Amino acid sequence: MRIRIDHSTRYGYARPARFIVQMLRLTPRSCESQQVGDWRIETDVDARLRRSEDAFGNIVHSLYTERPTDSLTIRVMGEVSTVDTGGVIRGQSERLSPLVFLRDTALTRADAAILDFAQAIGQGDPLDRMHRLMGALHRDVAFEVGSTSAAHTAAEAFAQRRGVCQDHAQIFISAARRLGVPARYVSGHLNRSDGQHDQDAAHAWAEAWIEGLGWVGFDPANGICPTDQYVRVAVGLDALGATPIRGTSYGGGQENMTVALHVRPVQQSQQQLQSRGWG
């Protein structure tokens, strides 16, 4: 499958910001399950973009403005060809030992409730246990937009038994680590099966290290392993480490952010795309 992604983030400032610094984890890497074609990052202001890699091997662009700016738009456009590998990640260069991903963070630290939930998964083959964990989370934690914020921890979201894909991923990670299975957070995109191409935000899921297989993806928000409908972009210990855009501004005063995201199969006609203003 070929998936087209158009992602725009706009920042507006109450008064011109003297200086803006942003770290962008917006560019996917090629591996067995995905081949990245044309991929571009553009801004509508005079800014410098410097490409590098972080400790997890993510492609990172550092953005710096050099003059007062009252608004900033960052747009990402590209196509990715995907194949279904059953969620197994192969052909991806890994810099770190899987044991690094047993490390707790403030967002993924388990409380007694998550520990009990993890232990109730039972014993057995690690792959089977991760599938059972995903199924239990999909069943017991409702998907509800607006029920949590980016600052909510796995324990807080689990306590209220509802959240969004970020919460499902972080609860999965927290429980998997309690079971001794390395797990990490993945940010990316999902070509939705309901045909909803205009989306409010990027998607998130988790990956667990299974001896003999390597990293395997699990999406508890949807109750499935990633397929050829998914595009991986960045990984981290938690949502903060894989966040698409993170940074700060100096001066500017109150900041307002709006996001527009369009994910579609490339077979969709160009005329339909232009009618939405993406052409």
Q: Kindly indicate the confidence band of residue 278, based on its pLDDT and cuts at 50, 70 and 90.
A: very low
Lowest-pLDDT range, 83-87, 118-122, 192-196? 192-196
**CA distances to 166, 200, 206 from 146, in Å:** 12, 12, 21
More confident residue, 270 or 89: 89
In DSSP notation, 45-56 reads: SSEEEEEEE-TT
pLDDT at position 269 over 80? no
- Strand segments, DSSP code E, in the chain are 2-17, 19-27, 34-43, 47-53, 59-65, 69-82, 142-143, 162-163, 183-190, 198-199, 203-210, 214-218, 230-236, 245-250, 255-265
Lowest mean pLDDT among 62-71, 167-176, 245-254: 245-254
* Stretch 170-193: mean pLDDT: 97
pLDDT in the model for residue 279: 45
Q: CA-CA distance, 76 to 22, in Å (whole number)?
A: 14
State in Å, rounded, how far the first CA of the chain is from the last one: 20
Give pTM, 2 decimals. 0.92
pLDDT in tens, 236-265: 999 999 999 998 888 878 889 999 999 999
Q: What is the pLDDT of residues 206-217, one digit of tens each?
A: 999 999 999 999
**What six digits make up the tokens of 124?**
């057995």
77 φ/ψ angles, rounded to the nearest 5 degrees: -135, 140
Nearest-angstrom CA–CA distance, 275 and 279? 8
Other CB atoms within 10 A of residue 11 CB: 21
Mean pLDDT of 32-48: 93
Q: What percent of the chain has a predicted confidence (pLDDT) above 90?
A: 84
Query: How many other CB atoms are there within 10 angstroms of residue 145's CB atom?
Result: 11
Buried b (16+ CB within 10 A) or exposed e, 50-77: eeeebebebbbbebebeeebeebebbbb
